[in-house]
Amino acid sequence: MRIVIVGGGQIGSSLARALAATHEVVVIDHAPHVADVFQSMDVEFLPGSGTSEEVLSRAGVQDCEFFVAATGLDEVNIVACALANRLGRPQTICLVSRAEFLDSSGEGGGLRAFGIDRVVWPEAQLASDIERIVTAPGAIDAEVFAGGIVRLLEYRLEAGSPLTATILGSLHLPRGSLIVAVKRGGRIFVPRGTTQLQAGDKVIVMGTPEAMHAVEALVHPGRAGGRLQVTIIGGGDVGFQLAEKLEQAPSLDLRVLESDPDRGAWLAAKLRRTLVLNGDGTDLEFLESENVGRSDVLVSVIDNDERNLLASLLGRQLGVPKVITRVGRNANLRLFERVGIDVAISARGAAVVSILHQITGGTTSLLAVVEHGEARVFELVVAPSFESRQLKDMGTSEDAIVAAILRGNRAVVPRGDDRINAGDRIVVFCTQAAADRVRQYFTRESS
């Protein structure tokens, strides 16, 4: 299908890269130097303005299915979507950078009048992603799928973790949970019963919510019931929204460090029970005087990569066990994690994932992208022509695993003797490289 993207910035290019292989993608941007980025991709680049009808017509908006407006200017995005909607009938997705375009439920209510189907505010997306990770003790990534009946948690194993005691086959993990992947030394793979986990490994566990509670208790004992102290450095859009969301969990003690006094006063007025501290998150003396080292989680969401990194590393030095950092430039994501930050996460990345969810819908839908795109989680409906068979007959693979079978509103975490039938809804975990192969195997679609 045809997808038109206006704006070739980070979000536009990430989207184009992810979609190029399977869809016709046209990118519109008025800056010619942006074109270089798209040279290496199998997409069409049109120089011009996204608010020009003529350019939009040339891009084939009339018969495209998705239209994404991802320039840096909110008003341009809105006008582009409105125009596209007049020229054809695409699903329009509009990126915004300010809260005023969203109504109280976080939807772009008022913008529907312009024919905009979905409003994406990357900062809000990021805030809700961080919220999930903060509230899962010990975990460095957390996702919820299929309306809450399947959860995913990612852990970094410490020395002495109960999971490193013996080979996987004799670990006796809680029923209904499954270790779907291990990341060791830059390589991600699906483990077997004979795999021995080691300290330093990252493991991804999936399962039903009840089982995942048991997993949390197993991997991170002693934390249950205690109060969790969360320190947020930076009270901008993300910091504020994160604090607002986290305030709803009663067992969290929240603090926001904000260097601008006026913004601090605004935050203190808006937030109910968060302690707002007026000071610089990169000031070691200040961090020490406020005992930031005693926090259970440190979230650094300043709008500046260098300062974020500094604040996070200071926090780590002071002994915070879990550090989550916002990254502006996607290229820095892996670097940040390599220097000791547990979770590096970007607003744009969060927005891209959310848009990809919507575009690659149909019988297969992308539920999550984990480890910065190295692995994916799909939900798919098994094709009618699929021959029913037991899992153990499918053979084991290093790069894909069926994580759950969805039956009604219950998830079954399968074992070797469970059957996959035609028409089943299943949740599959696979590496990036195996994604297309897995999809084809179950759905028998060519693309």
Neighbour count for residue 57 (Cβ, 10 Å)? 13
- In terms of DSSP H, where are the helices of 293-363? 305-318, 333-338, 347-359
> Binding to another protein by residue 286, rule CB under 8 A?
yes
Dihedral of the alpha carbons of 430, 25, 333, 72, in degrees to the nearest 10: -140
Name residue 302's amino acid.
Answer: I
Q: Which of 239, 152, 202, 241 is nearest to 427 (CA)?
A: 152
Contact between 279 and another protein by CB under 8 A: the answer reads yes
Least Cβ distance, residue 260 to another protein (angstroms): 11
The CA-CA-CA angle for residues 84, 3, 10, to 5°, reads: 95
From the list 33, 272, 285, 384, which residue makes contact with another protein (rule: CB under 8 A)?
Answer: 272
Nearer to another protein, 99 or 275 (CB): 275
Cα distances (angstroms) measured from residue 296 to each of 155, 184, 272: 15, 25, 21
Q: How many residues bind another protein (CB under 8 A)?
A: 16
* Phi, psi (deg, nearest 5) at residue 156: -105, 125
Residue 341 is inside which H or E element, if any? none
Residue 265, interface with another protein (CB under 8 A)? Answer: yes
Taking CB under 8 A as the binding criterion, the range among 170-178, 214-222, 268-276, 401-409 that sits at the site for another protein is: 268-276
Quote the least distance from Cβ 8 to another protein, whole Å. 41
Interface with another protein includes 269 (CB under 8 A)? yes
- Taking CB under 8 A as the binding criterion, the range among 221-229, 275-283, 396-404, 431-439 that sits at the site for another protein is 275-283
Which range of residues in 107-115, 195-203, 239-247, 278-286 is near another protein by CB under 8 A? 278-286
Binding letters toward another protein, positions 215-254, x by CB under 8 A: ----------------------------------------
Distance CA 389, CA 392 (A): 8
Backbone Cα Rg of the chain: 23
Choose which of 275, 284, 318, 383 interacts with another protein (CB under 8 A): 275
Residue from 134, 267, 301, 367 that binds another protein (CB under 8 A)? 267
Q: Which stretch binds another protein (CB under 8 A): 33-41, 44-52, 276-284, 316-324?
A: 276-284
Alpha helices, H only, 185-256: 209-219, 237-246
Per CB under 8 A, 264 contacts another protein: yes
Given a contact cutoff of 8 angstroms between Cβ atoms, the answer to whether 413 and 211 are in contact is yes
Residue 253 or 374 having the CB closest to another protein: 253
Give the closest residue to 235 by CA, choosing from 187, 208, 270, 204. Answer: 270
- Can you give the binding site for another protein, defined by CB under 8 A? 258, 261, 264-265, 267-269, 272, 275-279, 286, 289-290
